[in-house]
Amino acid sequence: MIDNGIPIDVAVIGAGPSGLAAAIALKQAGVGRVAVLEREPQAGGIPRHCNHPPYGLREFGRILKGPEYAARLVASARNAGVEIHVSITVTSIHGDGLLRLSTPEGVFEITPRRVIYATGVRETPRSARLISGARVQGVVNTGALQSMIYLKHRRPFRRPVIIGTELVAFSALMTCQSAGVRPIAMIEADAIATARWPSAIYPRMRGVELLTNTRLVEIEGDTVVQAVTVANTDGQTRRIECDGVILTGSFTPEVALARCGHLDVDPATGGPVVDQWGRCSDPAYFATGNVLRPVETAGRSWAEGRQTGAWVAQDLAGKLPSHDAKPLRILLGDARIKYAMPQVIYPSKGAGGMSEIQMRVRERVSGTLIARMQGRPVWQRRLNTRPERRIAVPIGEIISQAAADCVEFTIE
Amino acid sequence: MPNPQPKSSRQSKNMLSDDLFDVVVIGAGVVGCAVARRFVLEGAKVAIVEKASDILDGASKANSAILHTGFDAPQGSLELECIRQGFREYEDIRSELGLVQQKSGAFVVAWTPEQMDALAGIEAQAHENGIVDAHFVDAKSLKAAEPNLSANAMGAVNVPQESIIDPWSAPYVYLHQALENGAEVFLSCHITGGDFDGHVWDLWSGNGTLRSRAVINCAGLYGDILDRDVLGQAQFQIIPRKGQFVVFDKAACGLVSSVILPVPTEKTKGVVLFGTVFGNLVVGPTAEDQQSRTDATTDEVSLNALIAEGVDKLPALAQMPVTAVYAGLRPATERKEYRIEAAQDKNWITVGGIRSTGLSAALGIARHVFGLYEKFGAEHQPIAKPVTPQANVLAQTGARDWQRGGHGEIVCHCELVTRREIEAALVGPLAARSLGGLKRQTRAMMGRCQGFYCAAQVAELTDGKFAQAMSERFAHD
């Protein structure tokens, strides 16, 4: 039972790779009671339903399929003394770490000393993409598709089209093929696939047409998908008969608790506003993993969780710089920059924290990324990149120049 | 085909029910459900038929979920009478049936000097319509009440009683009350023809025949077709009017506390910003006349225009994610007013053209229709102590199922829908037979992730329940 009378030191919301890694790190740092709260009936997060490699190289030194990887993470956490509570939903978050919970037994509250928010990301659904057409059955995200196929052994269609070419789109393709679902085409608005080579040739190897410079313009159907219409950049349209649409990627942090609660949310990342320790606008809350920004691999999320766990342990020991000091705010002065995370930095040396500002761009960019304080360039670097590629700006080099309350990034 | 039999030989017919009903209500939208309830409470023997697998599958599946006071309805109109009556009855029965009503109030906001000039007339009409607490507020008072509205808001008429309700739980409980007090429901039952012998109607469907002394046409978007095909003549033509809506994330709900109405035009009430009892903020509808009675598609251009209009009026919406989009079809006719007419010699009442106030007026329409029916000469003894079932509580202010233990698990995390709620919606006379029906009864998959997390679990729980399954099982190696 979570409510056993012993105060909880740290509650982690979400038992995916980052949340479990944070919990393990906390236990290894000697923190007393660490409880991971998972709303699904099983811990492990998204990898539970990605029944294909590669997972685990960073964490376990070998290549695993998602479910094996998830099971290992859960076992490691239990071995480290982490409590994992499943089928427990945090229904709202409040000041000073107060969490309201719902379980099959009823509702109650806990107030741990710190909360780590590790709820991950999800893909943007059809509605938020504003895709035109009939609102019919058979339009799913990769996440739902994988849960159906790998966890429930059900398939929602036989001949879908796949929208998007981020890494997850190839995961969707592999998922389909494991269930005898044969995608007709992959559709990408850009001129080239988003994921790195050799991803781009994989669809053709599998007999799936890759349509670049093409966007989905309409979904047709009565109760289920019967066809889609796509258009290329010349405005030519083509109707493709199919019985499903897989909307992949366009990840967005699952940040409902923060948005409907009291934490500041950054419209750029879609995640909570954090400093370089992942500390939120209420310093009782920290965030880690993919809820920080879309989107990183499970391995990276796990590594972030490890670090965040260590920083929260430091904070409990009173070793993090005060949240009351005035931070350096990071501003985006160019619409091509999609986001920067963390959003604020405390110019304190020696207290650890993230070593880099993570950035991404919205479109292909070639130029110079420049950081300015009060109009004066303080840092710059050549930038030749594309959407969903990592951009890392060393925080140390920015802090060393800090002479203002904000730093603005532009691309020239 | 079997050999033709004499009409009186009932045994030879494929009968849906051997009973002779006093009334058959055709169409289980919000109006049909309310009519069925009223007739049952008045003591009539009632059947309600619906051609879809689930109730509320036509015009009633998508609306603004507002319980209007009638402040802007045409003076002296039947519509006004029905809205006023409907509003009163809703307030009367709300607690016994467990219905939700949030008196959010509404502001009819003027954004231009011309609209400012129109406010006095709107206020005067409200007073004439009996909504005496409607009153003008200046820009400053409006700002105090709705601080997030754009500074372009010049003034408004405040209508404090305008309310938001659950547009599905209400008609579901109307019909549940009808059923628990003796009505019968026939779903997936399409009435295609009929014959009236001067006393009794034979109503033909693909599934068999129903016999009834009187018929109430509540077929909404198909009201004219039903009149033409069964009654033999239609007094009006349905011109479906599509309305698209954008639903914003629950975080946006707090941006307004009232319903924000525009100054209406001749054709439409215009684009409204309104909170829902589920805790979302909605912008819509559009008003697009079309031929199709089924095409409830959304389009990116219109949705973007709605979002732009919403952001224009409520700038903070720009940062809010979209949760859902939907479109509904209003059963408009070539004229603006309700088309409720009795064919006295045929014991047939047509309830047509319930264009955009059906949810508000349904209970009032039901009383009006019963009044017309009494003129056919029928006499019934009202039920002395009717059974009062309880509506599903899906409003976020209510006591939701997830707050009570023993719910099994939370299946839909975004809307906090429990397994117990889903299982309950899959049984009984109004069991969900489609995903749309399940959504209306439980809100599963209607939240921000639109099924990313729960679609697989919902697919499993609904296995074998839906006419169109969400998925098929496959053999796994």
Which pairing describes strands B46-49 and B15-26: parallel, antiparallel, or unpaired?
A: parallel
User: A153 and A292: one domain?
Assistant: no
Query: Any chain A CB within 8 A of the CB of B451?
Result: yes
User: Can you tell me the distance from the alpha carbon of A187 to that of A163, in angstroms, rounded to the nearest whole number?
Assistant: 5
Interfacial A residues in 135-154 facing B (CB < 8 Å) = 135, 137, 140-141, 143-144, 147-148, 151-154
Query: Any chain B CB within 8 A of the CB of A248?
Result: no
Outline where DSSP puts E strands in B331-420. 339-343, 348-352, 410-412, 417-418
Digit-coded pLDDT (tens) for A213-257: 999 999 999 999 999 999 999 999 999 999 999 999 999 999 999
Q: Which SS3 state, helix, strand or coil, does residue A391 take? A: strand
Q: What is the pLDDT of residue A303?
A: 97
User: Can you tell me the distance from the alpha carbon of A46 to that of A19, in angstroms, rounded to the nearest whole number?
Assistant: 12
A2 part of a folded domain: no
Number of domains into which chain A is organized: 3
Q: What is the pLDDT of residue B6?
A: 43
Choice among A2-6, A207-211, A264-268, B439-443 with the minimum mean pLDDT: A2-6
Q: What is the pLDDT of residue B269?
A: 78
User: A193 and A100: one domain?
Assistant: no
Of the CA atoms within 13 Å of residue B177, those in its CB half-sphere come to: 32
Helices (H), A3-56: 17-28
Interfacial B residues in 212-231 facing A (CB < 8 Å) = none
Give the one of A104, A107, A153 whose C-beta lies nearest to B476's C-beta.
Answer: A153
Sheet holding A225-232, edge to edge: A214-221, A225-232, A237-241
**What are the Cα distances from residue A186, in Å, to A150, A284, B324?**
21, 44, 25
A394 part of a folded domain: yes
Sign of CA dihedral B314, B318, B323, B329: positive
User: Can you tell me the distance from the alpha carbon of B148 to that of A93, in angstroms, rounded to the nearest whole number?
Assistant: 24
Backbone angles phi, psi at B174, to 5 degrees: -60, -50
CATH code for the domain in which residue A307 is found: 3.50.50.60
Count, residues in chain B? 477
Give me chain B's average pLDDT, please.
95
- pLDDT-based confidence at residue A2 (cuts at 50, 70, 90): confident
| Residue type at A366 in one-letter notation | S
Locate B255 and state its tokens. 């941006």
Choice among A42-46, B1-5, B152-156, B219-223 with the minimum mean pLDDT: B1-5
Query: Any chain B CB within 8 A of the CB of A106?
Result: yes
Asked if A148 and B409 come within 8 Å (Cβ–Cβ), the reply is no
Alpha carbon B234 to chain centroid distance? 23
- Cis bond upstream, residue A295 (ω within 30): yes
Digit-coded pLDDT (tens) for B361-381: 999 999 999 999 999 999 999
| Domain range summary for chain B, segments of one domain joined by + | 13-61+168-237+335-374, 102-163+239-330, 401-461
User: A235 and A188: one domain?
Assistant: yes
Is residue A374 over pLDDT 60? yes
Digit-coded pLDDT (tens) for B48-71: 999 999 999 999 999 899 999 999
Digit-coded pLDDT (tens) for B337-365: 999 999 999 999 999 999 989 999 999 99
Average pLDDT over residues B117-132: 98
Q: What is the pLDDT of residue A404?
A: 82
User: Can you tell me the distance from the alpha carbon of A209 to that of A205, in angstroms, rounded to the nearest whole number?
Assistant: 9
User: Can you tell me the distance from the alpha carbon of A267 to that of A283, in angstroms, rounded to the nearest whole number?
Assistant: 20
In chain A the first and final C-alpha atoms are separated, in Å, by 56
Digit-coded pLDDT (tens) for B397-428: 889 999 999 999 999 999 999 999 999 999 99
Locate B195 and state its tokens. 């014959």
Query: Any chain A CB within 8 A of the CB of B448?
Result: yes
Of the CA atoms within 13 Å of residue B145, those in its CB half-sphere come to: 23
Alpha carbon B265 to chain centroid distance? 23
H/E stretch holding A340 reads strand A337-341
User: Can you tell me the distance from the alpha carbon of B378 to that of B347, in angstroms, rounded to the nearest whole number?
Assistant: 10
User: A130 and A222: one domain?
Assistant: yes
Give the one of B410, B435, B456 whose C-beta lies nearest to A147's C-beta.
Answer: B456
A1 part of a folded domain: no
User: Can you tell me the distance from the alpha carbon of B357 to that of B273, in angstroms, rounded to the nearest whole number?
Assistant: 16
Superfamily of domain B102-163+239-330: D-Amino Acid Oxidase, subunit A, domain 2 (3.30.9.10)
Give the right CATH number for B13-61+168-237+335-374 from 3.30.450.20, 3.50.50.60, 1.20.20.10, 3.40.462.20.
3.50.50.60
User: Can you tell me the distance from the alpha carbon of A398 to that of A357, in angstroms, rounded to the nearest whole number?
Assistant: 10
User: A244 and A256: one domain?
Assistant: no
User: A75 and A96: one domain?
Assistant: yes
Alpha carbon A296 to chain centroid distance? 6
CB pairs under 8 A between A and B: 143
Best CA proximity match to B130, nearest among B63, B66, B77 = B77
Is residue A364 over pLDDT 70? yes
Locate A158 and state its tokens. 């036989």
User: A112 and A224: one domain?
Assistant: no
Tell me what percent of the residues of chain A surpass a pLDDT of 70: 99
| For testing contact with chain A, the best of B409, B433, B472 (most A CBs within 10 A) | B409
Average pLDDT over residues B224-238: 97
Helices (H), A294-338: 298-316
User: Can you tell me the distance from the alpha carbon of A187 to that of A161, in angstroms, rounded to the nearest whole number?
Assistant: 7
User: A116 and A259: one domain?
Assistant: yes
Is residue B10 over pLDDT 50? no
Query: Any chain A CB within 8 A of the CB of B324?
Result: yes
Interfacial A residues in 168-187 facing B (CB < 8 Å) = 179-180
Picking from A261, A294, A320, the residue at the C-terminal end of a domain is A320
User: A136 and A242: one domain?
Assistant: yes
Distance in Å, alpha carbon of B328 to nearest chain A alpha carbon: 11
| For testing contact with chain B, the best of A37, A87, A127, A262 (most B CBs within 10 A) | A127
Digit-coded pLDDT (tens) for A281-331: 999 999 999 999 999 999 999 999 999 999 999 999 999 999 988 899 999
Q: Which residues of B touch A85 (CB under 8 A)?
A: none
Q: Which domain holds residue A74?
A: 10-122+252-320
User: A131 and A110: one domain?
Assistant: no
Show Cβ contacts of residue B147 under 8 Å, excluding neighbours closer than 6 positions: none
Average pLDDT over residues A43-51: 94
| Residue type at B421 in one-letter notation | E
A143: left (phi over 0), alpha (psi -120 to 50) or beta: alpha
Locate B289 and state its tokens. 């006349």
